[in-house]
C-alpha cells in the first residue's frame, strides 16, 4: 500500500493519524486539534494554497514521479495561450485576464436546471449522530456557498420524536430541522437533497417530504455506497434506544430483546448495539427486473410531485455501473452520483471498507466510457457527480476533467464535515455558554488555532466576507462552523480557478479530458488518458518541422 506523508513542510500542516490520498487521516475525529490541510483551510481559506514564511523560503515539489493508478497519477496540462469560455466581454483581447475571472458556476438537471455557485456537494449525511450534531454548520455553510447538501438515509427512522401511524410518518422533527436550516440561508443556488433507502421508502419519507416541501427538495434513490453495501449502520449505547430501534423495524445486533443480551448489557460485557438497514433489491434476480422496479419507483415519485430526482450508486462492478447510467438516463433523472471506494462518514466495517468495491479512478474512468457509449446512441446522458476520496483542488479538477462533459459536480463526504467540527470546537472554546449547543469539544483553543488570534474575526480569514453577506445581526446566530465551511470552500474554489486559468479555461463548462495527462503508462492504459509526453506530441513535431 502506498504510504502518504503525514506532514507537509511547505504548508506547515500535519496529520494526526495516517494520511491517505485525499490528505485526510484514515480516522477523522470531531475533537481533533489539528492540523491537516483541510483542517487549517477551514480557518485560513486560500492562504493555505501557498508556501508558508514567504520571503525567507523557497519550495520544491516531491510529487513528480508517479507510481500506480490513482488520481494522484494524473497530471494537469497547462496551455500557454488562449482564453476559452470568456464570452464576448473583450477582456481577453485587452490582455488583462486574471485567474479570478474564472467562473465556477454550473448547473445540473434534465429539464429543470439546479444552479450552483461551486461544483461541490456533500455526501449523504444521514442517521449518524455526528451528522445530527453538526448539521447546523454543514447546512448553513453549504447554503451560503451555494453548494448542494444531502440528507442521508434513516434520519426519520432513528428519530425518537418522529411519529408513524399505520406504518407511515406523520411527524418528523429532525428531518424538518435539517431541511429548514438549509432553506433559511438558501438564495437560489444549491439544493437540499433527501435520500431514500429501503427503510425510508417503507416509512413513507417521500410522501411526507412531497406534501410538506414539494419542489423545494430533490429526492434521491440510493444503491449502496463506496464504503459498503450492507445497508446503513449506527452504534447506540443505550439498551432502551436499541429496543426502540428494533421496534421501528431495524435489525439490531445483538438483539436487545433477548434476556441473555440484556443480562450481558447489565453486567457490562455488552456496551453497544449496531443498528442495520435492509439490503435493497433482494427480491429481484435479473437486470430486467431491476429496471422495471427502478422505473416504477421513479414514476411513483413523479406522481407525488417531485420534479427533480437523483440516484446515488456505490462502487459496484461494471454491470451495476452500466445499469445506473442507462436507467438514470432513460428515466431522465437530474443527477447520478457515482461513489468510488473507499471512505465512509459513519460506521462502515473497516475490513470491508479496505477491500470493498472499485477504486474511484477506475470506476470514474469506466463511467466516462459508458456515458460516451450512451451519447453516441443519441441519448442525453444524465448529469454526473463523482465521489470517492476528494478534498483538494487538483483532485477535484482531475475528476471533473475525467468525466467531462458529463460530470457537473464533485461529491465530498468527510472533507465537507471537517469545517463543521473545527468551527464548533472554536465556538465552544470562545463562548463556553454555547459549547453544549454547538457540540464543542474544547475548553480552550489549542496552539494551532490560537496562533491566529482569540476572536472569530481574527481566526477565520473569511469572517468579514460572510458578515458582509448576512449582516452583523445574523452573525450573532450563525454557527462558526458555517464560517469555517465558507473558508474551506474559498480555498477549494481559488485552487480550482487557478488550475482552470492555467489551462486557459475561464468557464467550468470548458473543462475537458484534454486538460489532464497520465503520469505513467499504467494509468494511461486503465483510464484512457494519454501519457503525458504523448499529449500534443504531434503538434510539437509539426512546430519543429515548420519552414
- C-alpha grid cell, residue 530: 494519454
- Angle between helix 393-403 and 360-376 (nearest 10): 30
Taking the C-alpha atoms of residue 452 and residue 320, their distance in angstroms, rounded to an integer, is 48
Q: How far is CA 215 from the centre of its chain?
A: 23
* pLDDT reading at 232 higher than 90: no
* pLDDT reading at 94 higher than 60: yes
Taking the C-alpha atoms of residue 112 and residue 503, their distance in angstroms, rounded to an integer, is 31
- DSSP letters, 388-450, are SS--SHHHHHHHHHHHTTTEEEEEESSTTTHHHHHHHHHHHHH-GGGHHHHT---SS--HHHH
Taking the C-alpha atoms of residue 500 and residue 515, their distance in angstroms, rounded to an integer, is 9
pLDDT of residue 167: 83
Taking the C-alpha atoms of residue 155 and residue 209, their distance in angstroms, rounded to an integer, is 13
Q: Could you tell me if 334 and 110 are in contact, meaning their C-beta atoms sit under 8 angstroms apart? A: yes
CA angle 208, 211, 212 (to 5 degrees): 85
What is the number of other CB atoms lying within 10 angstroms of the CB of residue 43? 31
- C-alpha grid cell, residue 369: 466510457
Alpha-helical segments (H) within 107-169: 129-133, 135-145
pLDDT digits (tens, 9 = 90+) for 177-203: 999 999 999 999 999 999 999 999 999
> How many helices (H) and strands (E) are present in the chain, helices listed first?
23, 20
pLDDT of residue 231: 79
* Residue 301 CA: distances (Å) to CA of 102, 196, 222, 423: 37, 11, 14, 37
pLDDT of residue 441: 98
* pLDDT reading at 1 higher than 60: no
- Judge if the upstream peptide bond of residue 342 is cis by omega within 30 degrees of 0: yes
Q: Which helix (H) or strand (E) is 222 found in, with range?
A: strand 217-223
Nearest one of 297, 414, 421 to 348, comparing CA atoms: 414
As a residue count, the chain comes to 547
Taking the C-alpha atoms of residue 174 and residue 172, their distance in angstroms, rounded to an integer, is 6
For 488, list phi and psi in degrees, rounded to 5.
-65, -45
Place of cell 429501503: 198
pLDDT digits (tens, 9 = 90+) for 165-179: 988 999 999 999 999
Nearest one of 495, 485, 469 to 122, comparing CA atoms: 485
pLDDT digits (tens, 9 = 90+) for 28-80: 999 999 999 999 999 999 999 999 999 999 999 989 999 999 999 999 999 99
pLDDT of residue 113: 97
- Judge if the upstream peptide bond of residue 405 is cis by omega within 30 degrees of 0: yes
* pLDDT reading at 238 higher than 90: yes
Q: Could you tell me if 507 and 103 are in contact, meaning their C-beta atoms sit under 8 angstroms apart? A: yes
pTM of the model: 0.96
- C-alpha grid cell, residue 365: 474512468
Taking the C-alpha atoms of residue 547 and residue 545, their distance in angstroms, rounded to an integer, is 6
pLDDT of residue 308: 98
Q: For the chain, give the percent of residues with pLDDT over 90.
A: 88
Q: Could you tell me if 136 and 479 are in contact, meaning their C-beta atoms sit under 8 angstroms apart? A: yes
For 222, list phi and psi in degrees, rounded to 5.
-130, 130
CB < 8 Å & 24+ apart, contacts of 352-359: 352/227, 352/228, 352/230, 353/227, 353/228, 356/226, 356/227, 356/228, 356/229, 356/315, 357/226, 357/229, 357/314, 357/315, 357/316, 358/315, 358/316, 358/317, 358/321, 359/69, 359/70, 359/315, 359/388
pLDDT digits (tens, 9 = 90+) for 345-391: 778 888 888 898 999 999 999 999 999 999 999 999 999 999 999 99
| Alpha-carbon dihedral angle through residues 10, 15, 19, 25, given to the nearest 10 degrees | -140
* pLDDT reading at 489 higher than 60: yes
Mean per-residue pLDDT of the chain: 95
Q: For the chain, give the percent of residues with pLDDT over 70.
A: 99
529 confidence band (pLDDT: 50, 70, 90): very high
228 confidence band (pLDDT: 50, 70, 90): confident
Half-sphere exposure of 307 (CA within 13 A, CB side): 9
Nearest one of 336, 341, 340, 358 to 406, comparing CA atoms: 336
Amino acid at each position: 500500500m502506498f504510504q502518504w506523508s503525514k506532514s507537509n513542510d511547505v504548508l506547515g500542516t500535519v496529520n494526526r493519524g495516517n494520511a491517505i490520498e485525499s490528505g485526510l487521516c484514515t480516522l477523522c475525529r470531531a475533537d481533533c486539534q489539528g492540523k491537516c490541510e483541510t483542517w487549517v483551510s477551514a480557518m485560513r481559506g486560500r492562504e493555505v494554497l501557498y508556501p508558508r514564511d514567504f520571503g525567507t523560503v523557497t519550495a520544491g515539489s516531491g510529487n513528480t514521479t508517479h507510481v500506480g493508478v490513482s488520481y494522484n497519477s494524473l497530471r494537469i496540462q497547462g496551455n500557454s495561450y488562449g482564453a476559452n469560455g470568456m464570452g464576448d466581454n473583450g477582456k481577453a483581447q485587452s490582455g488583462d485576464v486574471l485567474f479570478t475571472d474564472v467562473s465556477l458556476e454550473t448547473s445540473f438537471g434534465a429539464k429543470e436546471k439546479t444552479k450552483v455557485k461551486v461544483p461541490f456537494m456533500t455526501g449523504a449525511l444521514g442517521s449518524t449522530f455526528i451528522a445530527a450534531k453538526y448539521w447546523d454548520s454543514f447546512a448553513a455553510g453549504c447554503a451560503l456557498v451555494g453548494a448542494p447538501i444531502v440528507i442521508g438515509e434513516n434520519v426519520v427512522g432513528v428519530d425518537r420524536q418522529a411519529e408513524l401511524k399505520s406504518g407511515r410518518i406523520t411527524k418528523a422533527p429532525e428531518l424538518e430541522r435539517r431541511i429548514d436550516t438549509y432553506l433559511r440561508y438558501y438564495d437560489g443556488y444549491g439544493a437540499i437533497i433527501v435520500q431514500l433507502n429501503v427503510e425510508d421508502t417503507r416509512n413513507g419519507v417521500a410522501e411526507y417530504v412531497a406534501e410538506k416541501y414539494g419542489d423545494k427538495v430533490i429526492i434521491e434513490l440510493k444503491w449502496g455506497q463506496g464504503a459498503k453495501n450492507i445497508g446503513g449502520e449506527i452504534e447506540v449505547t443505550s439498551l432502551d434506544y436499541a429496543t426502540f430501534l428494533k421496534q421501528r423495524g431495524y435489525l439490531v445486533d445483538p438483539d436487545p430483546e433477548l434476556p441473555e443480551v440484556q443480562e450481558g448489557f447489565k453486567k457490562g460485557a455488552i456496551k453497544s448495539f449496531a443498528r442495520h438497514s435492509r439490503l435493497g433489491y433482494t427480491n429481484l434476480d435479473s437486470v430486467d427486473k431491476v429496471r422495471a422496479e427502478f422505473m416504477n419507483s421513479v414514476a411513483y415519485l413523479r406522481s407525488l410531485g417531485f420534479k427533480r430526482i437523483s440516484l446515488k450508486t456505490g462502487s459496484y462492478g461494471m454491470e451495476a455501473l452500466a445499469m445506473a447510467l442507462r436507467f438514470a438516463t432513460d428515466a431522465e433523472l437530474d443527477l447520478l452520483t457515482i461513489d468510488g471506494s473507499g471512505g465512509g462518514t459513519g460506521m462502515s466495517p473497516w475490513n470491508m471498507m479496505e477491500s470493498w468495491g472499485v477504486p474511484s479512478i477506475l470506476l470514474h474512468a469506466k463511467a466516462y466510457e459508458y456515458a460516451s457509449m450512451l451519447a453516441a446512441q443519441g441519448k442525453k446522458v444524465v448529469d454526473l457527480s463523482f465521489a470517492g476520496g476528494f478534498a483538494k483542488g487538483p483532485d477535484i479538477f482531475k475528476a471533473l476533467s475525467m468525466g467531462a462533459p458529463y460530470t457537473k459536480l464533485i461529491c465530498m463526504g468527510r472533507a465537507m464535515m471537517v469545517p463543521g467540527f473545527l468551527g464548533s470546537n472554536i465556538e465552544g472554546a470562545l463562548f463556553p455558554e454555547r459549547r453544549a449547543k454547538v457540540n464543542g469539544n474544547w475548553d480552550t483553543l489549542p496552539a494551532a488555532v490560537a496562533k491566529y488570534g482569540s476572536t472569530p474575526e481574527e481566526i477565520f480569514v473569511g469572517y468579514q466576507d460572510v458578515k458582509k453577506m448576512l449582516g452583523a445581526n445574523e452573525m450573532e446566530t450563525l454557527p462558526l462552523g458555517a464560517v469555517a465551511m465558507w473558508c474551506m470552500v474559498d480555498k477549494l474554489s481559488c485552487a480550482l480557478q487557478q488550475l482552470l486559468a492555467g489551462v486557459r479555461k475561464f468557464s467550468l463548462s470548458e473543462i475537458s479530458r484534454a486538460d489532464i495527462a497520465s503520469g505513467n503508462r499504467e494509468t494511461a492504459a486503465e483510464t484512457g488518458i494519454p501519457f503525458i509526453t504523448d499529449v500534443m506530441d504531434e503538434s510539437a513535431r509539426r512546430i519543429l518541422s515548420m519552414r
